[in-house]
Structure 1
Amino acid sequence: MRSPRTPEGKDPAESLATAMERFGPVEARFRQVYHMRLPRHLAVFAAFWDALPAAAAACLTERLGLYPWGITTLFADGGLDRTPRDGLDERLDCRFRRDPAEFVTVMGGDTDGLHFGLWYDDPAELPSFVAYNYARDSAETWTAQAATVLQQIRIRLDDARADAQADGPEHYAGMPPFEPLAAALDAFAGADAAALAADGPRRWAGAPRIRAAITIGPALPAEAGSARSALDTYRDPAAAAEVIAAARAELAAGRAAAALLAGGELHWLDDDRYRAEATELLTGAYRALGRDALADIIAVHHAHRDLRSVDVLVP
């Protein structure tokens, strides 16, 4: 358990050195479990959290409602000792029932199931950016294109400041001030940039995307074909059958885009009538693209989609 925070916080350099020392073992576990690459900027986020002065931590958690969750907790003292409960697969940890396979949770929020994750278009590549999802609301997945978790926090901080300015200070009496958190972000900005540079290019970050109605559109090679959202048709079984059949035909012809888009929309729709088809289309599309790690996540997710709690890793 972390000791109480002090007004001055911990030495950022000390926290950063510890997190970077732990990056290798955490990355190795992540690669073994997820078969994906872990970015170094996640270690910077872990160090940032560890070093936060009390006032900055209060702003982050009480005013912005943000805290480390999911993969980030592996960087904490004893984090790598955490194991899945009840024999469950570790990839189910912090994975809500309508989360896309590309989404790997790294930070939690304080309202409507808000959570933030690394977005993996391709498991062989670095994550493209940070994404977010209000799982207990409508559960769409969006992105502000933040390259790192600290950049995402900065965006949330700027939004909160803008809201406070528009509403007037009388609405926020007694709330933690913004300035300590802004100063803490500034203190880690150089380390965050260095981590991005050390990892190298994010191949799919700026790639064109197929437009999707309820999530970040897929970024695909040209030979995967094209597709259009059919979300409005799935409540009619006959119309849904036509879309599914067309996606299967495209996939059989070596073009995965239609199956990926249709499968993703059926996954989000979360209708038991189409659960098997969603699994079939998504796993088929991911494997056709060579994105087997995402297919494996879908398979285990759909097999355990009705868990009462997404807190899977336990001390």
Structure 2
Amino acid sequence: MMSRERALATMNERFPLVAERVLHQWGLRLPRQVAVFAALAASDGKALAEVGISPWGVTDYFRDGGLDLAGRDGLDPRLHARFRCDPAEFVTVMGGGSDGLHFGLWFDDPAELPALIAHNYARDSAETWASTAPTLIGVVRERVDRQLADYGDEPEEVARVAPLIEAVEWFTAADQAALRQDGPPRWASAPRSYFAMSLLPHLPPDSGDPQASESGIRLDVFQGDAAQASRWITEARRELTAGRPALALAVGSELHWLDRDEYRQAGLDLLVGAYRALGRDALAEIATVHAAHRDLRSVQVLVAGV
């Protein structure tokens, strides 16, 4: 393990090259806070492991030799740590250790920095929700606090997580400095709506109505009423053609999450069409490559020695 000072200096030095790689391959802007989390992992990884957390996803590029990693069997790097129900807006940066829990940066718009940290239990029900803390370091502290709330009356448990608490406190100043350097992300504090299974991305006011309140009803329809499902898909297509992509994004996102064979192509067409209409081409491309490889046996895609 590196010392904290050395780890922070090293990861900040690596940040521009990693950010360039992510921009080139994903078409997304990487926030500086990821380098601070990578430094925490490099200096206090054993303490992180005590709460089941590890760096994963694009954070792997910060490892020694990380920029030499490549997709196994010629796979696209954008598939790395991308589970089958993950939305295109979700880009994994941290593993959570149970039930496929993983944490990701949430990109409403590829032109903007991510607005928040989201999480998803991929091997459970695989919905995607917003985390409360705005940074990965903050999410780690929340995990520690939750663990202490459950087991804080056990001295052994307190002693077990004490090193991580101390480490998080040490990195907090650097975390806040990273936020200040990047500036506040657009939509970070804006009210946010939800579908039944995920966050609703922020959309321009002229993009139409995603009818988010109907999301749960639509999910039920898509699982048992083919005629009504066809009507929803037709309405979403009509809205998209009319230059109002919000409903197409909603229906496409729901069909992506449900992952039923009979709706795969229709859902992808709506989703990609909506992203293109919104000018969110990087998300359209992520959705396309993901749809072509959703049946991978493993989402550990970036490997050494390729």
The interval holding the TM-score normalised by the smaller chain is: over 0.9
C-alpha separation in 2, matches of 1:286 and 1:207? 21
* CA distance in 2: counterparts of 1:121 and 1:110, whole angstroms: 26
Task: After TM superposition, give the deviation of residue 217 of structure 1 in Å.
Answer: 1.5
Report SS of the residue matched to 2:269: helix
> Offset at 1:209?
3.3
Q: Structure 1's 242 and 111: CA in aligned 2 closer, same or farther, altered over 3 A?
A: same
| 1:146 CA displacement | 2.2
| d(CA) in 2 for partners of 1:125, 1:149 | 18
Partner residue in 2 for 1:302: 291
State the shift of 1:176 in Å.
5.6
Q: Distance in 2 between matches of 1:239 and 1:108?
A: 38
Q: Distance in 2 between matches of 1:173 and 1:210?
A: 41
Among 122, 129, 151, the residue aligned to 1:142: 129
Residue 252 of structure 1: how far off its partner (Å): 1.0
In the alignment, structure 1 residue 233 sits paired with structure 2 residue 225: no
TM-aligned CA deviation for residue 174 of structure 1 = 7.1
For 1:45 and 1:105, the matched residues in 2 are separated by 13
Q: CA offsets, 1:169-223, max 9 Å, x none?
A: 2xx8578622111110010111000001111121022233343100112211111
Q: 2:244 aligns with which of 255, 260, 264?
A: 255
Gaps of 5+ in 1: none
CA contact (8 A) 2:221 2:229 kept: yes
Q: How many residues align?
A: 298
Secondary structure, counterpart of 1:222 in structure 2: coil
Hey, what's the Cα distance between the residues in 2 that align with 1:176 and 1:102? 38
Residue correspondence of structure 1 range 66-145 to structure 2 within 5 A: 66-145=53-132
Residue number in structure 2 paired with 1:266: 255
Partner of 1:42: 34
Which of 49, 60, 65 pairs up with 2:48? 60
| C-alpha distance in 1 between matches for 2:291 and 2:277 | 19
8 Å contact from structure 1 (residues 59, 176) kept in 2: no
CA distance in 1, matches of 2:132, 2:106: 10
- The one-letter code of the counterpart of 2:291 is H
C-alpha separation in 2, matches of 1:293 and 1:217: 17
**Aligned partner of residue 177 in structure 1, secondary structure:** helix
In structure 2, do the counterparts of structure 1 residues 210 and 253 end up closer, same or farther at CA, with 3 Å as the change threshold?
Answer: farther
1:178 aligned partner: 161
**Partner SS for 2:104:** strand
Q: CA deviation at 1:110?
A: 1.4
Q: Distance in 1 between matches of 2:151 and 2:193?
A: 36
Aligned to 1:116, what secondary structure does the other structure show? Answer: strand
Shift of 1:15: 1.1
1:230-258 Cα offsets, whole Å, 9 max, x none, are: 22211211111011111111111111111
14, 17, 30: which one aligns with 2:22: 30
**Structure 1 residue 95 displacement after superposition:** 0.4
Q: Could you tell me whether the CA contact under 8 Å between 2:52 and 2:97 is conserved in 1?
A: yes
Q: Secondary structure at the match of 2:206?
A: helix
Counterpart for residue 283 of structure 1 = 272
- Whether 1:224 aligns to 2:207 is yes
The answer to whether the 8 A contact 1:58-1:176 is kept is: no
Helix, strand or coil at the partner of 2:36: helix
**Residues 145 and 254 of structure 1: is their aligned pair in 2 closer, same or farther, counting only changes over 3 Å?**
farther
Question: C-alpha offsets along residues 117-171 of structure 1, whole Å, 9 cap, x if unaligned?
Answer: 1110100000011111010111000112322110111111111111113xx42xx
> CA, structure 1 residues 15+82, in 2 after alignment: closer, same or farther (shift >3 Å)?
same
TM superposition shift of 1:227:
2.1
Which of 48, 51, 63 is equivalent to 2:43? 51
Matched, 1:243 2:232: yes
Q: Deviations over 1:244-284 (max 9, x none)?
A: 11111111111111111111010000101000011101001
Q: Given the two structures, how large is their TM-score scaled by the length of structure 2?
A: 0.94
User: Which letter does structure 1 place at the counterpart of 2:69?
Assistant: R
1:103 aligned partner, one-letter code: F
Percent identical residues: 54
The corresponding residue for 1:292 is: 281
* Ranges in structure 2 where 5+ consecutive residues have no aligned partner: none
- Give the 3 Å change call, closer, same or farther, for CA 221–154 of structure 1 in structure 2: same
**Alpha-carbon distance in 2 for matches of 1:210, 1:178:** 34
Distance 1:222 1:194 in 2: 33
Deviations 1:38-78 (A, max 9, x none): 000000111111122xxxx444213x110001111111110
Distance 2:186 2:157 in 1: 44
